[in-house]
Amino acid sequence: MGTGSENVLPYNREEHKGAQVKRMFDAIAGKYDLLNHTLSFGFDKGWRKKGIRFLRPFAPKQILDIATGTGDLALQMQRELAPEHIMGVDISEGMMEVGRNKVQQAGLSDHISFEYQDCMALTYEDNRFDAVTAAFGVRNFEHIEQGLAEMYRVTKPGGQVMILELSTPEHFPMKQLYALYSRIVIPTVGRLVSREKAAYSYLPASIQVVPQGKVMRGLLSKVGYREVQSRSLTFGICSLYTGIK
């Protein structure tokens, strides 16, 4: 059975969600970073920092960054954790091309690579990576449990998972304010900046139904992770999920 967000599609055409998400992100790749930072009021960098703080005591050497997009998390992890290598994977070549340029400009091409991978069926062998991460990408998975199971499969025993995902605030007044923000501000700003109306109507719709809190912890435990924990950030706008294989 689906988890809700799997049934929210960018274009509502007779096409798999993965193909639609790929086309959507290819279309907005050039404007994605500007929109991301603007729409999160810059909070996204602090959210990534909190996720990285969880990983720091483990000092992972080989990291897989799922749904890496333009590589913001990969770059921040490389600077703060100094692993041997980070493999950033995504289904959008447009987004990864922006990421490759950012990594090259930062002089980190020897440490961060990008590769097309379908998160539903990763080509890596079992127990390959010390840590597997995903920032704001799980809600785009075609099948969330299957994607999480793949993340678990390629994590080394004792290795870590760290997921950041946007979520819906549950308490007054943030719940009401966020409802207005997601219904009016996100689609309007997204449409003005990117000219891609579907992407920024899809974004708040997918956040509203993505598994969060207890449900997401349950999915992570179900695929095999232990010591699964979640933490609500910035009044519930973002959630941090962690676990150990």
Quick: pLDDT tens for 167-215. 999 888 989 998 888 888 888 887 777 777 777 788 788 888 899 999 9
Three-state SS sequence of the chain: CCCCHHHCCCCCCCCCHHHHHHHHHHHHHHHHHHHHHHHCCCHHHHHHHHHHHHHHHHCCCEEEEECCCCCHHHHHHHHHHCCCEEEEEECCHHHHHHHHHHHHHCCCCCCEEEEECCCCCCCCCCCCEEEEEEECCHHHCCCHHHHHHHHHHHEEEEEEEEEEEECCCCCCCHHHHHHHHHHHHHHHHHHHHHCCHHHHHHHHHHHHHCCCCHHHHHHHHHHCCEEEEEEEEHHHCEEEEEEEC
pLDDT of residue 2: 46
CATH homologous superfamily of domain 5-244? Vaccinia Virus protein VP39 (3.40.50.150)
Question: Does residue 113 carry a pLDDT above 60?
Answer: yes
Domain boundaries, the chain: 5-244
Lowest-pLDDT range of 55-69, 142-156, 166-180, 228-242: 166-180
Question: Does residue 131 carry a pLDDT above 60?
Answer: yes
pTM for the whole structure: 0.92
